[in-house]
Amino acid sequence: MEKNYQALRAKSFALRQKALDMVYRAKTGHIGGDFSVCDILNVLYNSQMNVTPENFDKPGHDHLILSKGHSVEALYSVLCDKGFFPESDLETFSQFGSKYIGHPNNKVNGVEMNSGSLGHGLSVSVGLALAERMNGSGARVYVVMGDGELAEGSVWEGAMAGGHYKLSNLCAVVDRNRLQISGGTEEVMAQDSQDARWSAFGWNVLHAEGNHVEALDEAFEQSRACSGKPTVVIADTTKGYGVSFMENQAVWHHKVPTDEEYQKAMEELKRKEAACCE
């Protein structure tokens, strides 16, 4: 079946608008990482994964762990768009008593695990992938990590285990936007040797333009076709992607837009959404 990449591109910008609204309304959030990871989540949920509100509580569906849990606004936006909960719920984000808190909360329909304590998602995903292989379900497990997160030792314990068990139903995605809260990744903890590191642990290593839906979709198809080892997709992204004054700016890791910045950002995202449909 031919895929409608034009619609997928437009949806990515619509999802960014939802995330922008959430951060602006709540006066808290991680908008830079939301915008870099948005295309990854969009392609996974709308082109690759077998997971819906109807099958989420049944065995055998595909799994998504957002290990970089601080980008929860992007995840909530995608889940809302997929029908896991009404859009009005997003208005309660980070409000007192709301279950829509600032990191993934498994009390929210569609969220697999509480995450955001960085470095845990890959290890949990290894366990999930092992369980689904034992069950013979055919379900796939995806884990999305930030590149700054790869400084955590537990990531490499998970990588070692994933390679050891040859988990071909496991796909890790690195949101490689090259910025973290304290600056550029290569200054904080250099990691341009990622290919060699993952390969040494027995992983199939792929690269993709992380803000390009067709490239991501092709990489995930390649990961699905790989047998005998897990796959990591190193997705080269731009932090703050989609809003010109936010792109590649470390300050937007955790910054709330002013009224004027919100209006400018929303106008730019709407223009780009519309341009995808022309």
Could you tell me whether strands 231-236 and 170-176 are parallel, antiparallel, or unpaired per DSSP bridges?
parallel
- How many angstroms separate the CA atoms of 167 and 56, rounded? 22
Confidence band for 1, pLDDT divided at 50, 70 and 90:
low
State the Cα angle at 114 between 253 and 248, rounded to 5°: 15
pLDDT for the residue numbered 182: 75
180-205: average pLDDT: 86
Q: Determine how β-strand 183-184 pairs with β-strand 179-180.
A: antiparallel
pLDDT at 247 over 80: yes
pLDDT, one tens digit per residue, over 93-138 is 999 999 999 999 999 999 999 998 899 999 999 999 999 999 999 9
Phi, psi (deg, nearest 5) at residue 143: -130, 130
By C-alpha distance, which of 207, 210, 213 is closest to 43? Answer: 213
Whole-angstrom CA distances from 135 to 7, 59, 115, 128, 132 are: 35, 9, 25, 11, 5
Distance CA 28, CA 148 (A): 20
Q: What is the pLDDT of residue 90?
A: 97
Q: Which domain holds residue 57?
A: 5-276
For the chain, how many structural domains are there in total? 1
Q: What is the pLDDT of residues 128-173, one digit of tens each?
A: 999 999 999 999 999 999 998 998 999 999 999 999 999 999 999 9
pLDDT in tens, 23-50: 999 999 999 999 999 999 999 999 999 9
CA dihedral 129, 34, 278, 213 (to 10 degrees): -30
Q: In this structure, what CATH number is given to the domain that contains residue 49? A: 3.40.50.970
- pTM (2 decimals)? 0.96
Tokens in use for 57?
């509580």
Alpha-carbon gap, residue 139 to 151, rounded angstroms: 29
